[in-house]
Amino acid sequence: MKKLVIALDGPSGSGKSTVAKILSDKYDILYLDTGAMYRATALKALKLDIDTLDEKGVATFIDNIDLEIKYINKTQHTFLDGEDVSLKIREPHVSMAASNISSLKCVRLKMVEMQRKIAGDTACVLDGRDIGSYVLPNAPYKFYITASSTVRANRRVKELIERGFDVEFDKILAEIEQRDYNDKNRDFSPLVCPKDAVIVDTSDMTIEQVIETISSEIEKK
């Protein structure tokens, strides 16, 4: 088997983070959730009252952003200006802000530089939108995890309700479709399915089936 570097890409809500956590435990490798970094950057812009699509405004802070990824009991925690914002970045209003800010080239260059440093030479699983296509193009194991937008919206509604948010299905579906559009249509490093990725459509699969499919691909190489 080659060194385990697993790139998981795909649209919002396709189940990448659940899959990544399980793979990280199963193979005892580092898990880097790259979306958390874009979310924290969006939170910084919101704190500074800078429009998340204003490239000039965002450029004023991006190079010096105090953003750190730490692993506590093997779990990723995201720190912004010294504060653990791991929960705050999951709030629904941060999702759209993250999608917007992630379209800016200055943001992507900074995040990708940090991601390559964190992944370094270690065995790891990364999830995001451009991992196999841009961040780690030489990753030996690439998967594109997807699901229909209705299935993804249903999953997101369930997750948000469990976390105490009051949400409407139609609004969440519209947001997911808008984020898909943003992620696939930005100019720099958009969401694409890497040519050499295995596509896993999770719409009608259980999480166990998804893990089984990915593990057997990994183990046969």
Given the rule CB under 6 A, which residues bind ligand DC?
Answer: 12, 34-35, 38-39, 98-99, 102, 128-130, 179, 183
The CB-of-31 to ligand DC minimum distance in angstroms stands at 13
The CB-of-23 to ligand DC minimum distance in angstroms stands at 16
Which one, 102 or 202, has the nearer CB to ligand DC?
A: 102
Which one, 37 or 220, has the nearer CB to ligand DC?
A: 37
> CA 35, CA 102: separation in Å to the nearest integer?
9
- Compute the 3-state secondary structure of the chain and give helix, strand, coil in percent, each to the nearest 5: 50, 15, 30
Which one, 54 or 91, has the nearer CB to ligand DC?
A: 91
**Residue 109 burial by CB count (10 A; 0-12/13-18/19+): exposed, middle or buried?**
middle
Cα 62 to Cα 9, 65, 186: the distances in Å are 24, 5, 19
The CB-of-39 to ligand DC minimum distance in angstroms stands at 5
Which one, 28 or 200, has the nearer CB to ligand DC?
A: 200
Two tokens, residue 30: 């580092």
In the numeric block, the tokens 């249903």 are attached to 154
> CA 145, CA 9: separation in Å to the nearest integer?
6
The CB-of-46 to ligand DC minimum distance in angstroms stands at 14
